[in-house]
Chain A
Amino acid sequence: MTGATLFGLAGAILAGCGVYGLLTAGGGLGRILGFNVLGGGVFLIFGAVARRGAAAGFHADPVPQALVITGIVVAFCATALALALLVRLREVEAGPAPDDGKRETER
């Protein structure tokens, strides 16, 4: 078994765990974590696919690695946005709604 196959299999397992988590986890936080596990699996598969460059004599194909950086940044931003929404939702549900002026300045 080559390293690339191992990475690919690990990615597939992670993606499977992530989908399971996303579908079954209760509450927002569990789903956000599930999304991150799923994303991690997909990014690992990107790494395994980069191995195809080996045929051309490179160590690895640089394009999937360049793509995966963008993918990680986007997933990070998405997680931050989802967590911000979750925190705000908890705040609104817990206490009395903050008055409009305060919300305006926060925004």
Chain B
Amino acid sequence: MSALLVLAVTVPLLGLAPLFLLRPGAGARIAVAVLGLGCAITGAIAVQVVRTGQALHYFVGGFPPPLGVALRADGFSAAMLCMSAMVLLLTGLFAIAGGGGKAPRMPAAFFTLLLALSSALNLAFLAQDLFTLYVALELLTFAAVPLVCLEGKAGQLSAALTYLLFALFGSVLYLLGVVLVYGLFGTLDLALLARRLAQAPPSGTFIAALALMSAGLMAKAALFPLHLWLPPAHSGAPPAASAVLSAVVIKAPLFLLVRLWSDLAPLPLAQAGAPVLAAFGALAILFCGVVALAQDRLKLLIAYSTAAQIGYLCLMFPLAAAADGQWSALAWTGGTLHLVSHAFSKAAMFLAAGLIAEAMGHDRLSGLAGAGRVAPVSVAAFGIGGLSLMGLPPSGGFIAKVMLLTSAIHQDAWWIALVILAGGLLAGAYVLRVVVIALQRPEPAGAGRVPPARECGARAGIALALAFAAVLLGFLPLAPFAFLSIGRPLSWTGLLP
């Protein structure tokens, strides 16, 4: 039993009290301090997982799973917890490091939502029960939707409404899957379900339930045919909010998709269903990548790039479900590493795009020439974040894509290898397009205008730090594999009869 898991969920909620009681400025600083505390807690969880070499668990009220609800942190959960805590902390710092009066201050509501997101995300990464996961996903949606319409403009409100309706449709489908699973097995605990499923071949009802839950999670994660809500919602929000939404919020349903297909579904079923997910992923990479190339607004380009990058995770499923142990484990590691590295690089790119737009007064690509002189650190952060997105060495994205690619080639999955390569080219094209425009000499016609404001150094530094975090992931040696596989497959070792 480890109380750290409970603290990870409850401490962010305690941080809400000062926000409501104190002045907005002081409340915001305390909120960021609480996010820092959350970072320390998740770090402690990760250290403990590494030290003991097995998953941490906590039974709420002391009742083990068939009766009670459990929290559990294995290596994969711990990696996601640390990633989301770090991104939330840096975004919080970005939001309070106000520039010289020119930048609009984030309202106190932003910090309230940031803390709520932190708690909901931690619950989604730790909960071990399908219904608790449903509640966590709903809390996450309720915290994420207001972030989209923080400034209350008409476009933002309609984007938020579309997002909410997609998310609600997804959550009802997920709930229908949950009730079917309960009707079949009489339990919702993931480890117990995995054990029952391993004993008997899955029935048609279970397959339907798994399909419903996956479709619901796809709607929440904006996977290809259900991605329509993402670009307006993520590009319309203020930069700090976009960074959080794109980097960590969509990661929770994706995390759950991995849990369902690699930890819960029995291997033959996973092998049958995975190619469908991979096909959606491939379409996402190609279609959204091409659409991203055609965008004229910087933030819309990054938002479409998010919709495209989600696809890489789905390419992992057929590779990871293959019977060949060594190469499937490599694909699994690559896919999950991609989740983490994408979070850092995308947060860096959205924050950098916000700073560039602030310095230039707009974010139309056609008018961004000279941004490299006005906001050099922001453009550098954008480029370095993009390095990982393209999959160039040295970066986390490079390692992740090489792992996926190696696994695909060794398993003769040529179409997957081709999609990975094509996706890398598309990402390279849209990132370089921005960087090349930004590094151009400003047009002579612009010389007569008021010289644009200079960027805010502290906030550009934070964006740069996030971009370097994505790069540094590439320098982790083969350690992530051992760490991520701690505590898998799911089980309550030595606790249950």
Contacts and interface: CB of A to CB of B under 8 A. Distances in A.
B492 interface: no
Given A63-B182, A78-B168, 6 more contacts: A35-B168, A42-B172, A71-B175, A85-B149, A85-B164, A92-B152
Nearest to B104: A100
Given A49-B182, A81-B145, A107-B109, A88 B157 contact: yes
Given A49-B182, A52-B186, A82 B164 contact: yes
Interface string B174-202: 01101110110010000000000000000
B135 interface: yes
A41 B135 CA distance: 19
9 contacts: A42-B176, A45-B179, A52-B183, A52-B186, A78-B164, A85-B164, A86-B161, A88-B152, A92-B152
Given A74-B135, A85-B157, A35 B152 contact: no
B263 interface: no
B160 A67 contact: no
Given A35-B165, A35-B169, A77-B142, A107 B160 contact: no
A92 B154 CA distance: 6
B481 interface: no
A70 interface: yes
B161 A38 contact: no
Contact of A82 (B107, B131, B165): B165
Contact of B158 (A35, A42, A89): A89
B168 A82 contact: yes
Contacts of A104: 107
A35 B172 CA distance: 8
Nearest to B181: A49
Main secondary structure of the interface of A (DSSP, over half): helix
A93 B138 contact: no
Given A35-B169, A52-B186, A89 B161 contact: yes
Contacts of B160: 85
Nearest to B163: A85
Contacts of A70: 131, 135
Contacts of A85: 145, 149, 157, 160-161, 164
A74 B138 contact: yes
B154 A81 contact: no
Interface of B: 107, 109, 131, 134-135, 138, 141-142, 145, 149, 152-154, 157-158, 160-161, 164-165, 168-169, 171-172, 175-176, 178-180, 182-183, 186
Contacts of B134: 71
A66 B160 CA distance: 31
Contact of B172 (A38, A49, A103): A38
A49 B178 CA distance: 11
Nearest to B130: A67
A77 B131 CA distance: 17
A44 to B, nearest CB: 10
A51 to B, nearest CB: 9
A64 to B, nearest CB: 6
A67 B161 contact: no
Contacts of A67: 131, 178-179, 182
Nearest to A93: B154
Interface string A69-97: 01100110110011001101100110001
B236 to A, nearest CB: 13
A26 to B, nearest CB: 13
Nearest to B131: A67
A82 to B, nearest CB: 5
Nearest to A46: B179
Nearest to A74: B138
A104 B142 CA distance: 20
Nearest to B154: A92
B161 A49 contact: no
A38, A67, A97, most chain B CB atoms within 10 A: A67
A93 B155 CA distance: 10
A42 B131 CA distance: 14
Contacts of B164: 78, 81-82, 85
